Amino acid sequence: MLSTLQPPRSLSHLCNKPTTLFLRHTSLKPLSSLSSQPVTDSTLTGQSQSQILSTRDSLLSRQITAAQLAESFLTRLRRTEPHLRSFLHVSDTVLAQARELDEKIQRNEEVGPLAGVLVAVKDNICTAEMPSTAGSRVLEDYTPPYDATAVRKIKELGGIVVGKTNLDEFGMGGTTEGSAFQVTANPWDMTRVPGGSSGGSAAAVSARQSMVSLGSDTGGSVRQPASFCGVVGLKPTYGRVSRFGLMAYASSLDVIGCFGTSVADAGILLHAISGHDRLDATSSKREVPDLASQFVSISLLESKPLKGLKVGLIHETLDDGVDIGVTSAIRTAALHLEELGCSVTEVSLPSFSLGLPAYYVIASSESSSNLSRYDGLRYGNQVASDELNSQYMDSRAKGFGSEVKRRILTGTYALSAGYYDAYYKRAQQVRTIIRKSFKAALDEHDILISPAAPSAAYRIGEKKNDPLAMYAGDIMTVNVNLAGLPALVLPCGFVEGGSAGLPVGLQMIGAAFDEEKLLRVGHIFEQTLQNCRFVPPLIADEDAPF
Amino acid sequence: MASTIFRSFQTHPLLFHPTTLLRRKNVFLYCTLGSAQTQTATQEKVKPQVKVSHLTQNKTLENASKDYEAVIGIETHVQLSTLTKAFCSCPYNYGSQPNTSICPICMGLPGALPILNFKVIESAVKVGLALNCKLALNSKFDRKQYFYADLPKGYQISQFDVPIATGGYIDLDIPVEFGGGHRKFGITRVHMEEDAGKLIHSDDGSYAQESKSNFGFVDLNRAGVPLLEIVSEPDMRNGIEAAEYAAEIQRVVRYLGVSNGNMQEGSLRCDVNVSVRPIGQLQFGTKVEIKNLNSFSAVSRAIDYEISRQVLLHSQGQDKEIVQETRLWEEGAQKTVTMRKKEGLSDYRYFPEPDLPGVFLTQDYVHGIHKSLPELPEMKRRRYEKMGLSMQDILFLANDINVAEFFDTTITKGADAKLAANWIMSDIAAYMKNEELTINEVKLSPQELAELIASIKNGTISGKIGKQILFELLAKGGTVKGLIEEKDLVQIVDPVEIEKMVEKVLSENPKQLDQYRGGKTKLQGFFAGQIMKLSKGKANPGLLNKILLEKLNAKS
């Protein structure tokens, strides 16, 4: 299919063919296919199949052992990692943990819902047994004394952390080129960036180096790489997931998010890490609905499963600055939603373009403060000096990369006496306007849709020396962080590029704490998406993914 | 030691080079260390001892002083005695081993977040109400940003533009020996913040650079301990007023039980701002900040020294020499010296703390706390005043909440206020001072003091016996009744019995009797003493003297 990709302007050539959609329902697998997809299936799992659920079924039915499963992932990881460089650290206890789990299963002991699930964790999320560097020299070889709450929860539910993934230093960037240690490649085209800042986590899931992964999203750092790498990326509502253990970039915007090859996996992972945490005063006390078991199989669906759902296509996201291929993929996705029963209308958010400047002022301001602790005194790299001030300066000058310094300087400026009102305060006012306009749009619509990024993955080095161009790439995502809303990105089509085309992600934005709806719509959307296999060419020839 | 603890967190020890410390040496003076003696309320000198400096003795200066007026404002930091720190669950105990009470949160490790201890809010509301402030029902925390080795996050969580309490005042009475009088000083604001760690010197007591060690150490035990900063209006005019203001703040926080208010441990720290202007001028002079004031007496003396210094400069036409700076009080030299000149206003780049939600108080919550407030020092003083006590008594009793409570309980048990005050201020206070005990540590209970006073008043025992019993009670406890019975101390009030004793003594001392009757009336005392001795001190002195006099004069 991919090889026959045509110029994306023409609808009929895109992978989803709304007109034939429902004719094919009857030919789909029985409803059990979702929940009990056997791992011995010799084809790579497509978007709609949950690796987490099938892992559980396969382990409990003794079709495969956790060790075999882990070994197959590690084998693929070893094979692909030299090309991708998505990991900064790979755990050496994965197999041992898997064997321990196998023993438990042998003894018929209770195992958690994430038993045997291989999770990659972005390196700005603290792990007690592995270095956590945030991609920065300033934290080179630093191992925290504790696990982030999200990591602790995953471990408690039986998940196995495979390793720590590459990122733009402290999450600041959109290509993962901003890592102090290595550049990660896009599994769809090794000359292209995986996006960022959670590029390592997106690439790892895309190349099936891990089943799912954790990222962090401050201005789009989960959603944009998800789009670039053709995986599902879920940015939860601010406060849904504890930030304890996430190295702060911009505290009022940061959230931990999830990557998976299916909406179900992203949802199950989110469910595992959600909930109030007494260690994070900004985490919500709101009850977490069951996000994990609502994934209805396609065969149970009615012909118009999303009937009555009001979808708003954000007008401002289809402007001139957006690649035409992306625009047409999104319009096609909108048609697909209509086929599913939604009513799709264009909605205008006049404040949309204000998001970018407001975001860069707020995020930079907060980061200038959050990164003050990296002074080399208590942990991390220290440059010896004979005077305290010069020690600070030398440690920070050598420890931070140029993008981090740029943002610290920007933020320091914005917060300075005499400039505060003009920048920080004004940006907060804009933020309030944005929040209100999203609220109004979401009062009228169930979900809003837009592209996840103005383009598909671009080439390594292409925007490296043009920070403004890179910042502009965040236009689709930053508003959502400013408004604190949940958003789901899922692959919806392709544009030309690479050997097999480049994936394009559709962003669905929901009302605060309504991840449930996003997951339901996303799950139906991906299951009904025809003729699309978002498996990158790097591993497409492989046999069983696990 | 710091390094060992930190290593358990797999981090680098806190190192920086000696010259750093050399340059920053002054900072050490701010955080007093070493063997801390726990200071109690009664031990701490509340009344500042004024020592007149050489400068003020200067005649010309004395004349010049009349033309100038000092303006003084005080920033007080009160360390709250909550069980745990402001934003984590580490306990804080003054004097514990360095870096034994720390966690990822108060160490500022990557990924750690603050969680507010609600006891901090409660304490702040109590203090705000006690200082007659208006409370902000919606306030928030802000970050105050600067780099220093004792500040692990590179910012201090504080409150900036919306402090929890504003616009209050404090009432106090100046001791009679300093001129007396009532004062009301304005309170600008009260806000919550966290303390920083301490830079510490090596074990041999020397500063790191002096011991030629290559390391400086940071103790983060204190990092994150909750503080209230109380800022006064520039309402004070001399050292005594400032010291009394600080003492009143100490009394208030101790009455409220929110802090031990101990200055030597740094639980109560005063930074004062002093400026001088020609009388009649509305504009303030250039203000100088003074730090390192470890007692109220130091507050008073440092301010008076600084006023003299500034007045002298003014009177010599050198007022340009007065620059905005921070000066340190040197206790040894009894003078202030420059610590650092301020290069313009420092920019702390305050912004709202995004890791903490806003602080929202309900009117009900505030009312509830208001109702639970104890009687505060000012209310106590006014009540004592109505009882007819002298201001000296009032200030003594109300100074220490434990003493005041002792006194209050004594009078609720029926004792006469004036008598109770006298007993407490004289013999009991002397005993406490000699034995270095607080009023809560002596064995005497208010109940027994009341009993003692009643026993003297109703004539059961004499005042002299009363005193003996008091010292027994202070040292060993027991009851007045028990001691009287045990030692057979009941006063002899039977005139017949006393008369017998009088006659016995007179008949045994005929020579003296003759002398008395010959005009040497001073001998009455001799007879009285002999009779009292005979009665083993139990004879009622009034009755004894009355009968004695009758007998002495009868046969003349």
For residues B124 and B262, membership in a common domain is answered with yes
Helix (H, G, I), strand (E, B) or coil at B138: strand
What DSSP state is assigned to residue A423? I
For residues B74 and B217, membership in a common domain is answered with yes
B458-462 contact pairs (CB < 8 A, 24+): B459/B491, B459/B493, B459/B540, B460/B484, B460/B490, B460/B491, B461/B489, B461/B490, B461/B491, B461/B538, B462/B491, B462/B537, B462/B538, B462/B539, B462/B540, B462/B541
Give the gap in angstroms from C-alpha A373 to the nearest C-alpha of chain B.
4
pLDDT band at B180 (very low <50, low <70, confident <90, very high): very high
Contacts with B32 (C-beta within 8 Å, 6 or more apart), sequence order: B264, B266, B294
With a cut of 60, say whether residue A77 has pLDDT above it: yes
Whether residue A282 and residue B112 make contact (CB cut-off 8 A), yes or no, is no
Give the gap in angstroms from C-alpha A233 to the nearest C-alpha of chain B.
22
Note the residue count of chain A.
Answer: 546
Element (H, E) at A334: helix A324-339
Nearest CA in chain A to B110: A247
pLDDT at B11: 33
Worst-scoring range by mean pLDDT, A258-262, B289-293, B481-485?
Answer: B481-485
The domain tally of chain B equals 3
With a cut of 90, say whether residue B1 has pLDDT above it: no
| Complete domains list, chain A, with CATH | 2-309+486-540 (3.90.1300.10)
Residue from the list A244, A250, A372 with its beta carbon closest to the beta carbon of B154: A372
For residues B211 and B283, membership in a common domain is answered with yes
For residues B259 and B169, membership in a common domain is answered with yes
Bigger pLDDT: B496 vs B52? B496
Highest mean pLDDT pick, A385-389, B11-15, B216-220, B406-410: B406-410
Whether residue A281 and residue B111 make contact (CB cut-off 8 A), yes or no, is no
With a cut of 80, say whether residue B44 has pLDDT above it: no
pLDDT at A18: 33
For residues B398 and B350, membership in a common domain is answered with no
Interface test with A, best of B28, B99, B156, B349 (most A CBs within 10 A): B349
pLDDT at B10: 33
For residues B479 and B499, membership in a common domain is answered with no
pLDDT band at B20 (very low <50, low <70, confident <90, very high): very low
The structure tokens 């954790």 sit at: A214
For residues B127 and B271, membership in a common domain is answered with yes
Q: Which residues does B contribute to its contact with A (CB < 8 Å)?
A: 6, 8-12, 14-20, 23-24, 104, 107-116, 143, 145, 147-149, 152-155, 218, 345, 347, 349-351, 354-357
Contacts of B12 in chain A (CB under 8 A): 376-380, 382
Report d(CA B251, CA B401) in Å as an integer. Answer: 7
Contacts of A392 in chain B (CB under 8 A): 147
With a cut of 90, say whether residue B56 has pLDDT above it: no
* Tally of CB atoms within 10 A around A32: 11
Residue from the list A134, A279, A387 with its beta carbon closest to the beta carbon of B20: A387
What DSSP state is assigned to residue A145? S
The answer as to whether B77 is a domain residue is yes
Contacts of A126 in chain B (CB under 8 A): 110-111
Give the gap in angstroms from C-alpha A387 to the nearest C-alpha of chain B.
4
Full 3-state SS string of A337-384: HHHCCCEEEEECCCCHHHHHHHHHHHHHHHHHHHHHHCCCCCCCCCCC
Note the residue count of chain B.
Answer: 556
Give residue A470's identity as a one-letter amino acid code: M
Q: Of A532, A369, A416, A403, which is closest to residue A474 (Cα–Cα)? A: A403
Determine the angle formed by the axes of helices A355-370 and A426-444, rounding to 10 degrees.
Answer: 120
Mean per-residue pLDDT for B351-368?
97
Nearest CA in chain A to B115: A281
Asked if B368 and B122 count as a contact pair (C-beta separation under 8 A), the reply is no
pLDDT band at B53 (very low <50, low <70, confident <90, very high): very low
Residue from the list A365, A366, A378 with its beta carbon closest to the beta carbon of B14: A378
Last residue of a domain, which of B428, B460, B486? B486
Nearest CA in chain A to B217: A377
Mean per-residue pLDDT for A476-488?
98
Give the gap in angstroms from C-alpha A382 to the nearest C-alpha of chain B.
9
Give residue B220's identity as a one-letter amino acid code: L
Give A95-110 pLDDT, tens digit per residue: 999 999 999 999 999 9
Task: Look up the domain containing B149 and give its range.
Answer: 2-27+55-363
Report d(CA A205, CA A187) in Å as an integer. Answer: 10
Residue from the list A245, A384, A386 with its beta carbon closest to the beta carbon of B111: A245
DSSP symbols for A45-64: --TTS-HHHHHHHHHHTTSS
Instruction: State the catalytic residues of A.
Output: 122, 197, 221
Last residue of a domain, which of B363, B388, B409? B363
For residues B156 and B184, membership in a common domain is answered with yes
Alpha helix positions (H), A216-283: 223-229, 263-273
pLDDT band at B22 (very low <50, low <70, confident <90, very high): very low
The answer as to whether B442 is a domain residue is yes
Q: What ipTM describes this predicted complex?
A: 0.90
Report d(CA A284, CA A383) in Å as an integer. Answer: 40
Give the gap in angstroms from C-alpha A137 to the nearest C-alpha of chain B.
14
Report d(CA B223, CA B86) in Å as an integer. Answer: 9
Whether residue A366 and residue B354 make contact (CB cut-off 8 A), yes or no, is yes
The answer as to whether B513 is a domain residue is yes
For residues B344 and B415, membership in a common domain is answered with no
Work out the mean pLDDT of chain B and round it to a whole number: 85
The answer as to whether B38 is a domain residue is no
C-alpha separations of A286 from A244, A272, A487, B244, B546 in Å: 17, 15, 18, 50, 87
The answer as to whether B369 is a domain residue is no
Report d(CA B172, CA B176) in Å as an integer. Answer: 12
Give the gap in angstroms from C-alpha A513 to the nearest C-alpha of chain B.
18
Contacts of B14 in chain A (CB under 8 A): 377-378
* Tally of CB atoms within 10 A around B478: 16
Contacts of A246 in chain B (CB under 8 A): 111
For residues B505 and B472, membership in a common domain is answered with no
Residue from the list B111, B347, B354 with its beta carbon closest to the beta carbon of A148: B111
With a cut of 90, say whether residue A460 has pLDDT above it: yes
Contacts with A110 (C-beta within 8 Å, 6 or more apart), sequence order: none
The structure tokens 């903490």 sit at: B356
Contacts of A146 in chain B (CB under 8 A): 104, 109
The answer as to whether B33 is a domain residue is no
Give A7-38 pLDDT, tens digit per residue: 333 333 345 433 333 333 323 333 333 333 33
With a cut of 80, say whether residue B530 has pLDDT above it: yes
The structure tokens 């900004």 sit at: A282
Distance from the first to the final alpha carbon of chain B: 88
Last residue of a domain, which of B363, B393, B413? B363
pLDDT band at B493 (very low <50, low <70, confident <90, very high): confident
For residues B230 and B148, membership in a common domain is answered with yes
Give A157-190 pLDDT, tens digit per residue: 999 999 999 999 999 999 999 999 999 999 999 9
* Tally of CB atoms within 10 A around B317: 8
Give B105-128 pLDDT, tens digit per residue: 999 999 999 999 999 999 999 999
Report d(CA B383, CA B368) in Å as an integer. Answer: 24
Mean per-residue pLDDT for A373-397?
85
Mean per-residue pLDDT for B403-431?
95
The answer as to whether B45 is a domain residue is no
The answer as to whether B35 is a domain residue is no
Contacts of A376 in chain B (CB under 8 A): 12
Nearest CA in chain A to B20: A387
With a cut of 80, say whether residue B69 has pLDDT above it: yes
For residues B289 and B344, membership in a common domain is answered with yes
With a cut of 60, say whether residue A94 has pLDDT above it: yes
CATH number at residue B530: 1.10.10.410
Element (H, E) at B166: strand B165-173
DSSP symbols for B175-192: -GGGT--EEEEEEEEEEE
Report d(CA A103, CA A59) in Å as an integer. Answer: 11
Contacts of A391 in chain B (CB under 8 A): 16-17, 20
